[in-house]
Amino acid sequence: MQQRKLGPFQVGAIGLGCMNLSHAYGVPPSPEVGEAVLLRALELGVTHFDTAALYGFGANETLVGRVLGKHRSRYTLASKCGMTGVDGKRVIDGRPATIKRTCEEALQRLQTDVIDLYYLHRWDKVVPIEDSMGAMADLVREGKIRSIGLSEVSADTLRRAHAVHPVAALQTEYSLWTRNPEIAVLDACRELGVSFVAFSPVARGFLAGALTDPAQVAAFEAKDIRRAMPRFQSAHFAANLRLLDGYLGLAREAGCTPAQLALAWLLAKGTDILPIPGTTSLAHLEENLKAADVALAPDLVARLEALINARTVSGPRYPAATQVEIDTEEFAA
C-alpha cells in the first residue's frame, strides 16, 4: 500500500478504525470476528490502527491489545482519552488527572509500554485546552505516548493546543457528505504541519451504497448510533437517498465500488489525509483497502463534489445534544 505521513510516522494510506468491532453500530461482533478482522488487516499491510478508551468502554483497547500486542513492532497504534465510559455512561472529562489515569489503563489493556499517537477524544469545554494538552505533554516526556492528537476541534482550538505542545494529527469526520473540515481546520492543519485523519469516510455506511430503503434504517439495532443521527431520519434520509443514483453511476464510471469511490475521493484531496474506515466484514476490509489503487480523473472528482456537498446533503451530522459537545466549525444554516 502507498505510504503517508502520520505525524512522525509513516503508515499505509488507509488505516483501520477499530470502533465498530466493539461499539456504536448495534451489537458488536464476536471477539473471534474482531480478531479475524484485525489479523487480516495486518496481513494486508494496514499499519495504522485506531482505537479509544470509549469504544466498548475499554473492550476495544482490550481486543486490540490481545490480538495485536504480539505484533506491536509492525504497526502504529493510536488511541484516545478524554471521553470514557463511567458507570455505563459516556463521560467527557479532560482534567489532567483523568487523562493520565486513562492512559495508564489504556497501556495495560493495549499490552504495550507506549502509545504512538494519543488523541484527546473530545475537548472538555470546562477545562482549558491548555491544561489538557499540558497533561498529554507530560505523558510524552514520561515516555508513555510518542505524539499527541486532537479530535473534533476547531482551527482556533488546534492553534491554542499546538502552542502548548506540537500536535501530530487531528482527527474529525470527513467525507463527501461531511465537508466541515474544508471550512477552516484542514487549512490550519496544513499551516501547522498536522496530519489529518478522516473518520467515518464512507458516511457511516451511506456511501457504501447498500442503504437504499428507509426500512433498512428502521431496522437498525437499538444501540446503533445512527438511529439518533438526523441524516438517517425520515425526510432527511429520503432526501439523501435521491443523491444515491447519481453517486452509484459515478462509481461505475470510475470502475470501482461505491465505498472505494468515497475513499479514493478522500485520498485524492491531499497526501496529508488518512482515512480510517471501519468494518466487521473481511470482504469489506479487502474492498476498502483496494481503494488505494483507484485513481480518479479531475472531472469525475468535480462532478462528485457538485453532487454531494454541504448544500445538497440534508440534515446535520449529529443530534443537538451531541453537537454541543464538539468544537468543529459548522456551515451557516
**Residues with active-site annotation:** 55
User: Could you give the angle at the alpha carbon of 123 between the alpha carbons of 119 and 124, nearest 5°?
Assistant: 130
Closest CA to 263 of 203, 191, 323: 203
- d(Cα 85, Cα 56) in Å, to the nearest integer? 8
Cell of 143: 515516555
Element (H, E) at 296: none
Helix (H, G, I), strand (E, B) or coil at 72: helix
- d(Cα 21, Cα 37) in Å, to the nearest integer? 9
- d(Cα 309, Cα 160) in Å, to the nearest integer? 29
Residues 6+ apart with CB under 8 A from 137: 148, 164, 165
239-246 LR contacts (CB < 8 Å, sep 24+):
239/314, 239/315, 240/177, 240/206, 240/313, 240/314, 240/315, 241/212, 241/214, 243/307, 243/308, 243/312, 243/313, 244/209, 244/212, 246/307
Cell of 172: 474529525
Report the residue count for the chain: 333
CA 43 → CA 39, 61, 284, 295, distances in Å?
Answer: 6, 20, 15, 24
Cell of 258: 461505491
Element (H, E) at 218: helix 214-218
Distance between first and last Cα of the chain? 40
